[in-house]
Amino acid sequence: MNRRRFALSLLTFSLGTLLAFAGCNNASTPEKQTDDKSPTKPTASTEKPKIALIMKSLANEFFLTMQKGAEAHQTKNADKYTLLANGIKDEQDVSRQQQLVEQMIAQQVKAIVIAPADSKSLISVCKKAIDAGIVVINIDNKFDSGVLKDQNVTIPFVGPDNRKGAKLVGDALAKTLKAGDSVAILEGVPTAFNAIQRKNGFEDAMKAANIKITASQSANWETDQANKVASALLTAHPDLKALLCANDNMALGAVAALKAANKTGQVTIVGFDNISAIQQLIKEGGVLATADQHADQLAVFGIEYALEMLAKKGSPADKETPVDLITKANLK
């Protein structure tokens, strides 16, 4: 009997020990978490989107103002997006803009807001960005509608009506002239839609006032080129009463040409863009008028629309932004 009790006690002890050991082992080993219980990791959809701003020449005050406006907006909305701002060295460096778009595709940005140097040549690479799932917004210089149609791509334009803005400036000039007077136009890059539209707006105003456009030449948006073109026009057409410049940089070149020809005050100059140097000349009487398309907000309008498109995934559509006549009477 004693032996049996002893054996039974030993067996009970052994089983208890094993169970206790097993219980301790389970308590010290955490249960493997399922995917549902694992900590949430940031995903592409919860991260701040990267938005690229690709501009034209940063040697042009207009685009520096545009960049500063965009950076100020991003600072106020730092929790909503990250900004990558880029520009080119001169107004015609189309290949560099194409490279910048390629770089932004490689960096997997969520949206590209672009002021194209050329209305046709940048469409193919922007289509490539769209095919990669990137939202593309066109600002400042509108893409060519025919090429967009040929490539079966829709890219919304967010910006002013350049023809309307140029006509406002031309109408202001016409009030200082009389029917039959001769004027000349300094055009932007001939392949740029906004250059074409501004030329058309100037022509609309001059035709309505029966003022003769004696010459129209491109100075490619550049001050130095405008100086040379204006000098040649003043020599070839000594009866010119005004120079209508498709941007303010060219207006600065025209002002310098007048000074060199001792014709300051004899030929009226108008521009487009409302940069600070032109504002001072308007105050002094060296330039009659310009158009303000609100450079500090132009990229912001595009960025805000890009954010809207990313959030709502809606169908893209053009959006017209303000353009205003600036003269000495309303210059702040």
pLDDT exceeds cutoff 90 at 291: yes
| Dist CA 91 CA 221 (whole Å) | 7
Q: Which domains does the chain have, with CATH numbers?
A: 50-160+295-320 (3.40.50.2300), 162-292 (3.40.50.2300)
Cα separations in angstroms, 239 against 86, 186, 248 = 43, 16, 23
Q: Residues 46-59: pLDDT tens digits?
A: 689 999 999 999 99
| Dist CA 167 CA 161 (whole Å) | 10
pLDDT confidence tier of residue 313, bands split at 50, 70 and 90: confident
pLDDT confidence tier of residue 216, bands split at 50, 70 and 90: very high
Q: Residues 221-233: pLDDT tens digits?
A: 999 999 999 999 9
Q: What is the pLDDT of residue 38?
A: 36
| Dist CA 303 CA 53 (whole Å) | 8
pLDDT exceeds cutoff 90 at 43: no
Q: What is the pLDDT of residue 46?
A: 61
Q: What is the pLDDT of residue 226?
A: 98
Q: Residues 167-176: pLDDT tens digits?
A: 999 999 999 9
Angle among Cα 306, 308, 311 to the nearest 5 degrees reads 110
DSSP label at 32? P
pLDDT confidence tier of residue 106, bands split at 50, 70 and 90: very high
**Quick one: average pLDDT of 101-126?**
98
Q: Is 128 exposed, middle or buried (0-12, 13-18, 19+ CB in 10 A)?
A: middle
Q: Is 80 exposed, middle or buried (0-12, 13-18, 19+ CB in 10 A)?
A: middle
Cα separations in angstroms, 175 against 91, 208, 211 = 32, 11, 11
**Quick one: average pLDDT of 78-88?**
97
Q: Residues 233-282: pLDDT tens digits?
A: 999 999 999 999 999 999 999 999 999 999 999 999 999 999 999 999 99
Q: Is 1 exposed, middle or buried (0-12, 13-18, 19+ CB in 10 A)?
A: exposed
